[in-house]
């Protein structure tokens, strides 16, 4: 594997999930794998889990890790090619990427969508320019359309907690006051549909995700019905794909609470975090035994480690 931007970069998904689980067992030899190599992590947007778990993964592999917050600290970046740069953007991605490639052996990039221009967001301009001009492997730390490190950690978490061979996994939309990316849900369906799960997506009408990610995954518009017999409920808000970037409803009735899950099979509740309490998920779930959101976040380290380890093999 050279780049890690989506599940399509993964040759053997089950082997990668297994490798992530193995990374949890401390092995002193792992510290040698990345010795003398530099991992650069570039953030255009805020981060807690992705930043620290990827840094920790790099440290566990013996790498040197450099982190830079571009928003605020870097030069304002131009990403369009062939433009006259006489505005407020001081540096072009072409040079910035080339320079990062001089300093780093692997680069991670977080770049959220603008949620205004669907075509621009879904073309993944910044991520693709970094791949094109850096000359080194690139890891997505959540791009405009996907969050593959999160999804890998999610698959590891389901594998760890599942009690039946083929669990019923329900991804549910939940209300949120702001317009959020489709990256996490896009990525989750893309990964979960490749696993041996009964996968169902539930959301209000108008929140259909792009068919290129859904690929025929079943939608159940009745959330209560979707939750019947569920083993896992994966909660996430996203803004509309069709009416791009719009918040169509904030209907509080879609919030996940203990009452909502009473017909599930004592479903474990997952969320990528940060989660707004009593808007997205109620306290009675987050403070109870059904929530596995912290364990899920813990798995971000072994997921990142398995990916970096795989890329190091190609260097």
* Residue (63 or 180) nearer to ligand SN0, CB: 180
Q: In Å, what is the CA distance from 150 to each residue of 1, 29, 205, 238?
A: 18, 26, 26, 15
**Tokens read off for 13:** 């998904």
Residues 6+ apart with CB under 8 A from 158: 167, 169, 192, 195, 197, 232, 270
Nearest residue to ligand SN0 by CB is 180
Cα–Cα distance between 192 and 189 in angstroms, integer? 5
Member of 115, 141, 152, 180 binding ligand SN0 (CB under 6 A): 180
Residues 6+ apart with CB under 8 A from 14: none
Member of 130, 138, 184, 303 binding ligand SN0 (CB under 6 A): 184
* Residue (142 or 296) nearer to ligand SN0, CB: 142
* Residue (48 or 85) nearer to ligand SN0, CB: 48
Specify burial of residue 26 (Cβ count, 10 A radius: 0-12, 13-18, 19+).
exposed
Cα–Cα distance between 237 and 239 in angstroms, integer? 7
**x-marked contacts with ligand SN0 along 136-155 as a string, rule CB under 6 A:** ------x-------------
Residues 6+ apart with CB under 8 A from 181: 112, 113, 115, 142, 144, 145, 238, 239
* Residue (58 or 113) nearer to ligand SN0, CB: 113
Question: Least Å distance between CB 11 and ligand SN0?
Answer: 26
Q: Are 264 and 230 a contacting pair, CB within 8 Å? A: yes
Supply the DSSP symbol for 24. T
Helix (H) or strand (E) holding 184: helix 183-192
* Residue (162 or 276) nearer to ligand SN0, CB: 276
* Residue (21 or 276) nearer to ligand SN0, CB: 276
Q: Could you count the other beta carbons within 10 Å of the beta carbon of residue 102?
A: 9
Question: Where does this chain touch ligand SN0 (CB under 6 A) — which range of 173-181, 216-224, 244-252, 283-291?
Answer: 173-181
Question: Where does this chain touch ligand SN0 (CB under 6 A) — which range of 9-17, 74-82, 126-134, 176-184?
Answer: 176-184
* Residue (142 or 190) nearer to ligand SN0, CB: 142
* Residue (189 or 272) nearer to ligand SN0, CB: 272
Cα–Cα distance between 74 and 91 in angstroms, integer? 9
Asked if 174 is part of the footprint of ligand SN0 (rule: CB under 6 A), the reply reads: no
Question: Where does this chain touch ligand SN0 (CB under 6 A) — which range of 82-90, 151-159, 179-187, 245-253?
Answer: 179-187
Question: Least Å distance between CB 248 and ligand SN0?
Answer: 16
Q: Are 9 and 312 a contacting pair, CB within 8 Å? A: no
Member of 249, 276, 284, 295 binding ligand SN0 (CB under 6 A): 276
Question: Least Å distance between CB 143 and ligand SN0?
Answer: 10
Supply the DSSP symbol for 1. -
Asked if 181 is part of the footprint of ligand SN0 (rule: CB under 6 A), the reply reads: yes
Asked if 178 is part of the footprint of ligand SN0 (rule: CB under 6 A), the reply reads: yes
Question: Least Å distance between CB 134 and ligand SN0?
Answer: 24
Dihedral pair phi/psi, residue 209, rounded to 5°: -80, 170
User: Which of 126, 110, 111 minimizes the C-alpha distance to 50?
Assistant: 110
Asked if 51 is part of the footprint of ligand SN0 (rule: CB under 6 A), the reply reads: no
Which residues of the chain form contacts with ligand SN0 (CB under 6 A)? Answer: 142, 178, 180-181, 183-184, 272, 274, 276
């Amino acid at each position: 594997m050279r780049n890690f931007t989506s599940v399509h970069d993964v040759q053997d998904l089950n082997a990668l999930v297994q490798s992530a689980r193995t990374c949890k067992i401390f092995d002193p030899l792992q510290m040698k794998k990345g010795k003398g190599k530099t991992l650069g992590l570039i953030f255009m947007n805020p981060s807690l889990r992705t930043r620290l778990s990827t840094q920790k993964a790099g440290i566990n592999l013996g790498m040197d890790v450099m982190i830079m917050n571009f928003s605020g600290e870097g030069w304002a970046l131009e990403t369009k090619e062939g433009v006259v740069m006489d505005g407020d953007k001081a540096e072009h991605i072409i040079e910035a990427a080339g320079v990062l490639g001089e300093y780093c052996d692997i680069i991670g990039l977080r770049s959220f969508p603008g949620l205004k221009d669907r075509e621009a967001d879904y073309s993944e301009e910044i991520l693709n320019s970094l791949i094109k001009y850096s000359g080194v492997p690139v890891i997505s730390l959540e791009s405009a359309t996907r969050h593959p490190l999160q999804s890998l950690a999610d698959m590891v978490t389901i594998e760890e907690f599942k009690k039946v061979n083929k669990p019923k996994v329900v991804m549910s939309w939940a209300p949120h006051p702001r317009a959020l990316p489709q990256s996490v849900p896009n990525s989750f369906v893309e990964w979960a549909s490749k696993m041996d799960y009964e996968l169902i997506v539930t959301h209000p009408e108008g929140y259909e995700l792009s068919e290129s990610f859904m690929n025929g995954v079943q939608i159940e518009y009745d959330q209560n019905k979707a939750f019947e017999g569920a083993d896992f409920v994966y909660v996430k808000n996203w803004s509309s794909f069709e009416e791009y970037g719009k918040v169509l409803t904030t209907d509080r009735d879609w919030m996940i609470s203990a009452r909502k899950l009473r017909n599930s099979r004592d479903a474990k509740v997952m969320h990528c975090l940060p989660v707004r309490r009593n808007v997205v998920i109620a306290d009675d779930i987050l403070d109870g035994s059904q929530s596995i959101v912290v364990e899920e976040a813990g798995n971000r380290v072994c997921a990142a480690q398995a990916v970096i380890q795989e890329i190091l093999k190609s260097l």
